Amino acid sequence: MNLLSPDVIAILLLDGILFLFALIALAISVQIVRKWDRNATTPLQYALEKRAYLVATIIEYIFYLKLPLFLYFIYTLDNLSNILPGAMCAAGVTNATVYGLPLFVVKILDLYLFGFWIVLHRIDMKKPDYPFTKMKFWFFILIFPFFTLEVVLEALHMGGINPHVIVSCCGTLFSAAKSSAVSAFITLPTPLILGLFYGNFVLIAVAWLFKRAFWTALFNLLFIPVAIVSLIAFFSTYVYEMPHHHCPFCLLQSDYHYVGYFLYTFLFGGTFYGIAAWIAEKLGYGTVRGWLNRSIVLDTLYLFVVSYYPISFYLKNGVWL
């Protein structure tokens, strides 16, 4: 490993321990899906029920530990930018190897998948005959490869960072002049970006108003890429008050009052609850209205915060960037 840092070692060690627990949970999950029979009264079924409770507890704790660990991961990337030549924030560290960006995407995806597993588990535990036990362990078997991929990518990325090699700063990575997918987003017409962003939010609000869980889930799913693209292409420039600064990582720094942590919490929390409400409804959970309300509140907070910056800038300066 080229980069030996206490933060990096701590993240690799913690994720390694969680992976070992997940491996144990996987082995027992396979046993449960093969032999589970909720109508049986055999000693084997009784033993499986006890193991199912143990495994569910392990998976729950993996998710609850992964949430703060993800924030620590972001904090660590930001800190590493101080020692990598050329890096000004986590964007440069993420781009230090080819594994950085896929790692970031898989980490976010895993949080959603583990969160959906918790939803399934909670609904199953509320039913007296545990009708979704086999389904939730099948689901865990399906999401385990994603967790494995995350751990492998993390080891490859952290192990591949060379502190003596110059990396690109965010000003280069998120530049309209560069030929990349990001530059394609940045050069989109502003009315199109804002139309997609606010139009998507209106659709979410209408679906919430008519209590349509499926449409709320679908529009929240679309809202994730639409919100991120609009943040990079338009809203971030007003946070920085610089027309050519589009970095979504610098928002996490103290210079901008750590507003990125709030924005991403609102966005990912709101979209998660919006999708989870539909899953809960499909499983016959009776009180999805509360989940829908949490979704619309968090989505609205996200919209208000990002909208505040361009409006505030215009009121102070009388011009748009």
Question: pLDDT tens digits for 39-61?
Answer: 778 888 888 888 888 888 988 88
pLDDT recorded at residue 47: 86
Residue type, 182: V
* 204 in Cβ contact with 288 (< 8 Å): no
Residues 243-286 pLDDT 10s: 888 888 888 888 888 898 899 999 999 999 999 999 988 887 76
pLDDT value at residue 2 = 54
pLDDT category, 5, cuts 50, 70, 90?
Answer: confident
- pLDDT higher for 15 or 128? 15
In this predicted structure, what is the pLDDT of residue 159? 86
Residue 105 above 60 pLDDT?
A: yes
Look at residue 179 in the predicted model and tell me its pLDDT: 62
Find, among 206, 203, 204, 216, the residue nearest to 282 by Cα.
216
pLDDT of 207 reads 94
CA gap 94, 84 in Å, rounded: 11
Element (H or E) spanning 113, and its range? Answer: helix 100-126
- pLDDT tens-digit map of 168-206: 777 777 766 666 666 677 778 889 999 999 999 999 999
Between CA 184 and CA 205 the distance in angstroms is 29
pLDDT of residue 209: 92
Whole-angstrom CA distances from 68 to 43, 88, 148 are 39, 23, 19
Q: What is residue 36's predicted lDDT score, i.e. its pLDDT?
A: 82
Closest by CA to 201, choosing from 319, 321, 305, 310, is 305
Mean pLDDT for 148-165 is 89
Tokens coding 101: 């960006």
Q: Alpha-carbon distance 172 to 266, whole Å?
A: 28
Contacts by residues 287-292 (CB-CB < 8 Å, ≥ 24 positions apart)? 288/213, 289/211, 292/208, 292/211, 292/213, 292/216
CA distance 95 to 208: 38
Q: Is 70 exceeded by the pLDDT of residue 94?
A: yes
On the question of pLDDT at 24 being above 80, the answer is yes
Closest by CA to 104, choosing from 228, 284, 207, is 228
Is the pLDDT confidence value at 311 over 60? Answer: yes
305: Cβ–Cβ under 8 A, 6 or more apart, which residues?
259, 262, 263, 266
139: left (phi over 0), alpha (psi -120 to 50) or beta: alpha
Other CB atoms within 10 A of residue 81 CB: 23
Residue closest to 295 by CA, chosen among 115, 164, 125 = 115
The whole model's pTM is what?
Answer: 0.88
Using alpha carbons, select from 295, 277, 296, 294 the residue that is nearest to residue 286: 277
